[in-house]
């Protein structure tokens, strides 16, 4: 007889073959077995409203029928070829049409790869080595990106702090770290290191922290005045904040942009995009041996991911999903206000309508150091209560999908009400 493994049994099996019993991404005690629309089920068949949505890619929910049809049509034709394919060209054309800074596209398989190559591309174009990044900003797993992502030891700016072992100490000297939302500090770094800085890399919305009014514009201005390139990491915000991404939403255009998550429709796909002048460094015939930036990947631009991404973008554009997502995000935020206000606990709803979370703090939060002062004990209790009540909310943010239903909101309201009561007992 076929035996169904429980979640607990899968955890035990994982402990023998996976470091830390997991993939390194999420709570290893959670095994999701199925997703459909706005819901997921774990291996014990507990059902949740999904506010993780695969860490962002499933903007149309799980198993969208049009995306599935596109994938099923492609699968018997071939899953990957390593060569060019027509779906990849069509997707690149749509990206260039939608994203203001994009004239050309180079595919990779993950957002971390895209950010790594964006940094390398900026160095190739400018001939300079140093990168300015912001403390708490996440840009993947490269050595540069793992500088001052979540430092436990707070040093004086612009000293970079490695967040992982295995990174050569020499990398620290090539990364200058600034506090997010402090354009004057960035200006001082540029004044001191101008002849050495290739680029500023920034998440337009840093994790949950919105840019202050004029901050991104000021970065753009400083880059224009000094010849430094501005890189927007839009792995999360691309095709989420608006069809043209955060650069459309905030009306600030970078020189280079990285995209991921949504453009693969749930399959591994990411991209570096920019002007033809900058992107020509991927073309040896144009820049020669000395200017050539080598990049290749076995699955980069594979046709299954490309057709899934192309169909996802078609549906988003056709259905004007952004209006609904923003309206739904505001409704969730209103539920937080409704049930947290009576508790008397200090809190803030921080982020964008399509991507936000509750932070338990009385302070204004403008950068990483403000953020880490929030009460993590209350936050963990709140998250745990939500999950027990059937809301699959990740630590760090709520991803709003375009397929939330009235029934989902009923479940979320009850869960938020219960979670608020649970944390009120901590006072």
What does residue 310 show for φ and ψ, rounded to 5 degrees? Answer: -65, -45
What is the rounded CA–CA span in Å between residue 418 and residue 180? 35
Long-range contacts (CB closer than 8 Å, 24 or more residues apart) made by 147-156: 147/171, 147/172, 147/175, 147/177, 148/175, 148/177, 150/368, 154/369
First-residue to last-residue Cα distance in the chain: 51
* Angstrom distance (rounded) from CA 269 to CA 264: 5
Q: Tokens for 326? A: 């923003």
Classify residue 107 as exposed, middle or buried by CB count within 10 Å of its CB (0-12, 13-18, 19+): buried
Active site residues: 138, 233, 261
240-257 burial, b if ≥16 CB within 10 A, otherwise e? bbbbbbbbbbbebbbbbb
Please give the Cα distance from 283 to 74 (Å, whole number).
29
Residues contacting 401, CB < 8 A, separation 6+ = 38, 50, 53, 58, 59, 60, 61, 325
Cβ–Cβ under 8 Å, residues 154 and 367: no
Q: Are 280 and 239 spatial neighbours (Cβ–Cβ below 8 Å)?
A: no
Taking phi over 0 as left and psi of -120 to 50 as alpha, with beta for the rest, 132 belongs to beta
In a 3-state reduction of DSSP, which class is residue 323?
A: helix
Residues 70 and 64: their CA atoms lie apart, in Å, by 10
């Amino acid at each position: 007889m076929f035996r169904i493994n429980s979640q607990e049994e899968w955890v035990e099996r994982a402990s023998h073959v996976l470091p830390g019993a997991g993939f390194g991404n999420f709570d290893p005690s959670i095994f999701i077995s199925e997703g459909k629309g706005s819901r997921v089920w774990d291996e014990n068949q507990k059902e949740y409203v999904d506010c993780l949505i695969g860490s962002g890619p499933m903007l149309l929910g799980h198993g969208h029928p049009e995306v599935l049809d596109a994938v099923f049509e492609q699968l018997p034709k071939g899953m990957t070829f390593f060569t060019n394919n027509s779906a990849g060209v069509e997707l690149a054309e749509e990206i260039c049409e939608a994203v203001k800074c994009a004239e050309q596209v180079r595919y990779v398989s993950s957002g971390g790869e895209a950010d790594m190559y964006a940094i390398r591309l900026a160095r190739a174009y400018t001939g300079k080595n140093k990168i300015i990044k912001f403390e708490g900003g996440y840009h993947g797993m490269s050595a540069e990106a793992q500088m001052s992502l979540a430092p436990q030891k707070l040093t004086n700016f612009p000293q970079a702090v490695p967040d992982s072992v295995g990174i050569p100490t020499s990398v620290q000297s090539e990364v200058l770290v600034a506090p997010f939302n402090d354009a004057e500090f960035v200006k001082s770094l540029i004044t001191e290191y101008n002849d050495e800085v290739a680029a500023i890399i920034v998440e337009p919305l840093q994790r949950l922290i919105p840019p202050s009014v004029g901050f991104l514009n000021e970065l753009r201005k400083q880059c224009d005045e000094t010849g430094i390139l501005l890189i927007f990491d839009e792995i999360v915000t691309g095709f989420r904040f608006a069809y043209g991404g955060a650069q459309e939403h905030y009306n600030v255009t970078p020189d280079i942009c990285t995209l991921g998550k949504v453009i693969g429709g749930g399959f591994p796909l990411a991209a570096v995009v920019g002007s033809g002048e900058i992107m020509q460094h991927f073309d040896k015939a144009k820049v020669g041996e000395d200017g050539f930036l080598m990049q290749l990947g076995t699955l980069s631009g594979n046709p299954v991911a490309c057709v899934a991404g192309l169909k996802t973008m078609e549906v988003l554009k056709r259905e004007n999903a952004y209006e609904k997502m923003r309206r739904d995000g505001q409704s969730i935020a209103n539920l937080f206000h409704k049930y947290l206000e009576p508790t008397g606990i200090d809190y803030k709803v921080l982020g964008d309508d399509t991507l936000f979370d509750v932070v338990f703090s009385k302070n204004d939060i403008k950068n990483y150091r403000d953020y880490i002062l929030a009460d993590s004990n209350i936050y963990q209790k709140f998250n745990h209560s939500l999950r027990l009540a059937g809301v699959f909310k990740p630590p760090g943010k709520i991803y709003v999908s375009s397929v939330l239903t009235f029934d989902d909101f009923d479940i979320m309201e009850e869960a938020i009400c219960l979670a608020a009561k649970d944390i009120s007992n901590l006072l």
